[in-house]
Amino acid sequence: MHVASSRKKIAIIGTGYVGMACAIGFAEFGHTVVGYDILPERIRLLQRGMTPYREAGIAEALARHLSEERASFVEDFESAVDGADFIIIAVGTPSLSDGTADLSAVEAVVAQLSPLHLNGATVVLRSTVPPGTSDRVALALRGSAEVVYAPEFLREGSAVADFLSPDRVVAGAESAEAGQRYCALFSHLNRPMLVMSLIDAELVKAASNAFLAMKISFANQVANLCDGLEADALEVLGAVGHDRRIGSMFLHPGIGFGGPCFEKDLKSLIHVMNTANTNASLLEATLEINDRQPRRIVETIKDELGDDLSSFRFGVWGLTFKGGTNDLRDSLALRVVDEILAAGGQVVAYDPSYRDGATESQRFELADSALAAADADVLVVLTDWPQFAKIDERAIAARVRRRLVIDGRNVLDASALRDAGMTYRGIGRRRTVDSLELAETG
Ligand code: UGA
Of 309-323, 344-358, 428-442, which range is least confident? Answer: 428-442
Judged against a pLDDT cut of 50, whether residue 251 lies above it is answered with yes
From the CB of 212, is ligand 1 less than 6 Å away?
A: yes
Q: Is the CB of 266 under 6 A from ligand 1?
A: no
Ligand 1 nearest-atom number relative to CA 323: 28
Q: Is 187 helix (H, G, I), strand (E, B) or coil?
A: helix
SS (H, E, C) 83-124: CCCEEEECCCCCECCCCCECCHHHHHHHHHHCCCCCCCCEEE
380-428 pLDDT, tens digit each: 999 999 999 999 999 999 999 999 999 999 999 999 999 999 999 999 9
Q: Please give the number of the atom of ligand 1 that sits closest to the Cα of 205.
A: 11
Look at ligand 1, atom 19, and give the residue with the nearest C-alpha: 155
What is the predicted pLDDT for the residue at 188?
Answer: 96
Q: Which residue is closest in CA terms to ligand 1's atom 10?
A: 261
Q: What are phi and psi of 78, to 5 degrees?
A: -65, -40
pLDDT at residue 350 is higher than 80: yes
Q: Which of 54, 209, 193 is nearest to 128 (CA)?
A: 209
- pLDDT surpassing 70 at residue 438: no
**Nearest CA, atom 11, ligand 1:** 261
The proportion of the chain whose per-residue pLDDT surpasses 70, expressed as a percent, equals 95
Residues designated catalytic: 261
φ, ψ for residue 210, nearest 5 deg:
-65, -40
Q: Is 209 in the pocket of ligand 1 (CB under 6 A)?
A: yes
Q: Give the mean pLDDT of 64-68.
A: 97
Q: Which residues partner with 32 through β-bridges?
A: 9
Asked if the model's pLDDT at residue 149 lies above 60, the reply is yes
| Spatial distance between the Cα atoms of 137 and 49, rounded to a whole number of angstroms | 32
Is it the case that residue 440 has pLDDT exceeding 80? no
Which of 91, 203, 262 to mutate to test ligand 1, by most ligand atoms within 8 A of the CB atom? 262
Q: Cα–Cα distance between 303 and 286 in angstroms, integer?
A: 26
Q: What's the pLDDT at 2?
A: 58
**Mean pLDDT, range 248-273, rounded to an integer:** 96
Cβ of 250 closer than 6 Å to ligand 1, yes or no, is yes
With a 6 Å cutoff on the Cβ, whether 252 touches ligand 1 is yes
As a whole number of angstroms, the distance between CA 342 and CA 156 comes to 30
Alpha carbon of 142 to ligand 1 centroid (Å): 35
Please list the residues that pair with 348 across neighbouring strands: 315, 365
pLDDT of 354 above 90: no
Q: Which atom of ligand 1 is nearest to the CA of 331?
A: 26
User: Which pLDDT tens digit goes with each residue over 4-16?
Assistant: 558 999 999 999 9
* Residue 358 confidence (pLDDT) above 50: no
Residue 433 has pLDDT above 70, yes or no: no
* pLDDT of amino acid 437: 56
Measure the CA–CA gap between 257 and 331, rounded to whole angstroms: 8
- What's the rounded mean pLDDT across residues 248-276? 96
Q: First CA to last CA across the chain, in angstroms?
A: 56
Minimum-distance ligand 1 atom for the alpha carbon of 258: 26
pLDDT band, very low/low/confident/very high, at 432 (cuts 50, 70, 90): confident
Q: Which of 126, 167, 202, 257 to mutate to test the pocket of ligand 1 (most atoms within 8 A of CB)?
A: 257
In sequence order, what DSSP letters do the residues of 345-374 get, joined into one string? -EEEEE-TT-TT-TTTTTTSEE-SSHHHHT
Query: With bands split at pLDDT 50, 70 and 90, how would you rate the model's confidence at 441?
Result: very low
State pTM to two decimals: 0.94
Q: What is the mean pLDDT of residues 288-298?
A: 97
**Residue 442, pLDDT score:** 41
